[in-house]
A and B are shown apart, each in its own frame.
Chain A
Amino acid sequence: MIADHHDMEELVAAYVLGALGPEEARRVRAHLAGCSSCRELARRLGLGAAALALAVETVPAPPELRNRVLAAVQGIPQTATVRPVGERPARQGAVRAWRWRPAWKGPAVAAAAVIAFALGGGLGLGVGRAAFGTPAAPPAAVAQYTISGSGAMAGSGGRVFDLRREQVTLIQFSGLPTLRTGRVYELWLIDRQGHPQPGAVFAPEPDGSKLLLLGRNLDGLSALAVTDEAGPGGGAAPTKQPELLGKLA
């Protein structure tokens, strides 16, 4: 019995991937029906298998395929049998966890660039939780990144200038939607384990721009993100998934 169970365990991965012949598959299926530990194993391994579809390099589909697909269902009846639809998972007040944990090894998202810029007057500085330093004279080199918007903030973006030596970071936002009364934008500094830390709160200029100066460089961080939160001081943790996000090299 025990030997048989062990034998079945060894077959579960192959079964999940459809790599067994019909007779072996039938034996595994019968075993799973009566073995909760193997069913749990199948569930775990299946999570890994299900992810494999995401590993493919995406290729644009032929433009006409969309119309083909929609035309194909015209007049096609749906199966009448209705099974109970699963309950929608209850939303939680705050984000349960930032479930994406990008691996930061691999090619950089943005190339480092050498820029020279002058910090002129009229800077709208955000109220940062980090202590502000005084920027040094225009640096010889900075690391530059891009923040991109999606969803409701699809028209927004940001350019990030990481002045490592001077230990300050300049972020130039554009296209920020106007906030509702009582809301602020909050910048999150995301460490290499994916944990967001409060960085700064700010409100956009009337034209949707904003220039932020942080009194630190971006060492030890994997990404920057922005969400809109309750004002005036934002919160200790984000209450929603970000729609403005920039990955750092």
Chain B
Amino acid sequence: MPESTRLAPAPTDFELGAALAAGDAGALGDVYDRYGELAYSVALRVLGDPGRAADVVQECFLKLWQNAARFDASRGSLRGWLMSSVRNRAIDNLRGRAGHERSELGLAELGELAAAGSADDPWLEVSAALEREAVREALASLPAEQRQAVELAYFSGYTCKEIGEQVGVPVSTVKGRLRLGLEKLHSYLEGRGLLDDR
């Protein structure tokens, strides 16, 4: 029987992280090829400006390179770290914050979706597309006021006070909407087996 067609399996995120930590600049290219478009899309969604979005992506990949040896794969995924970094830097950029005035827990430390990007899942592109669709549907399933509050906080970096002023409700109401919104997102994604709920 003729030899089967064999293609080299794509490195896992865990392997890419290890390669980055070992100073393999080629691995950074692999990470960019895998997550660069998503990173750019997140930055663009926050900033609305292609030039500023590209600058943020470049800064975050540089930060990833510089700090690769400190990345702890047991506390979060490479993708989670990168997207958290991009979102935070974009928000800082949007809000005119010079430094990293981050007041929340690093999102990447809090877990990650189980499919694309997880250390032991070799099936990336197909599951990533399905995963993104599931997340969009999860967000669309939220009541409008919860979705609005979550999006204003996540994509625009507004505080509860600012959100309350924008939509004309008390701060306590905003806090409740954020909690209910994130609870529902978690339940929706967990119900579809998409969360690596370690």
User: Please, which residues of chain A bring their CB within 8 A of the CB of B44?
Assistant: 56, 59
A100 close to chain B: CB less than 8 A: yes
Which A residue's beta carbon lies closest to that of B187? A48
Q: Is the interface of A mostly helix, strand, loop or mixed?
A: loop
Q: How large is the interface on B (under 10, 10 to 19, 20 to 34, 35 or more residues)?
A: 35 or more
C-alpha spacing A10/B142, complex, angstroms: 18
Whether A57 contacts B41 in the complex (CB less than 8 A), given A21-B159, A44-B186, A241-B127, comes out as: yes
Given contacts A42-B110, A58-B41, contact A150 B125 (CB under 8 A): yes
Taking a contact as CB atoms under 8 Å apart, the answer to whether A56 and B134 are in contact is no
Contact with B along A191-213 (1 / 0, CB 8 A): 00010000000000000000000
Interface pair A101/B123, CB less than 8 Å apart: no
Choose among A83, A102, A178 the residue that contacts B1 (Cβ–Cβ < 8 A): A178
Task: Check B120–A85 contact: CB distance below 8 A.
Answer: no
- Report the Cα distance A103→B130, complex, angstroms: 8
Query: Which residue of the partner chain, among B84, B160, B179, B184, contacts A20 with CB atoms under 8 Å?
Result: B160
Q: Is B168 an interface residue when CB atoms closer than 8 A count as contact?
A: no
Tell me the complex Cα distance, A81–B11, Å.
Answer: 24
Identify the closest chain A residue to B154 (Cβ). Answer: A52
Produce 1/0 per residue, B76-91, CB < 8 A to A: 0000100110111001
CA distance A50 to B65 in the complex (A): 21
A contact residues around B101 at 8 Å (CB)? 22
Tell yes or no: A5 within 8 A of B by CB: no
Q: In chain A, residues 224-244, which have Cβ atoms closer than 8 Å to a Cβ of chain B? A: 240-243
Q: Does B74 make an interface contact (CB < 8 A)?
A: yes
- Within the complex, the shortest CB–CB distance from B68 to chain A, in Å, comes to 6
Contact A68 B66 (CB under 8 A): no
Q: Is the CB of A50 within 8 A of B80?
A: yes
B114:A19 contact, CB within 8 angstroms: no
Bound CA–CA A117/B49 (angstroms): 51
Tell me if A79 and B70 are in contact (CB < 8 A).
Answer: yes
Whether A130 sits at the interface, judged by CB under 8 Å, is: no
Complex alpha-carbon distance, A70 and B111, angstroms: 28
- A:148-176 near B, CB below 8 Å: 148, 150-152, 154-155
- Interfacial chain A residues near B17, Cβ < 8 Å: 85
Contacting pair B134 A69 (CB below 8 A): no
Task: Determine whether the beta carbon of A50 is less than 8 Å from that of B112.
Answer: yes
Is B105 touching A61 in the complex (CB atoms < 8 A)?
no
Q: Are B54 and A17 in contact (CB under 8 A)?
A: no
CB atoms of A91 and B182 under 8 A apart: no
Contacts of B23 in A (CB 8 A): 78
Known contacts A55-B138, A83-B69, A241-B123; can you find 17 more A-B pairs with CB under 8 A? A13-B179, A13-B182, A21-B159, A43-B111, A47-B113, A48-B182, A54-B83, A56-B38, A70-B28, A73-B65, A76-B62, A88-B119, A89-B119, A99-B127, A100-B115, A100-B131, A102-B130
15 CB contacts below 8 A, A to B, read: A10-B172, A14-B175, A16-B110, A17-B153, A19-B104, A47-B186, A47-B190, A53-B83, A59-B37, A59-B44, A73-B65, A78-B65, A78-B68, A87-B74, A154-B7
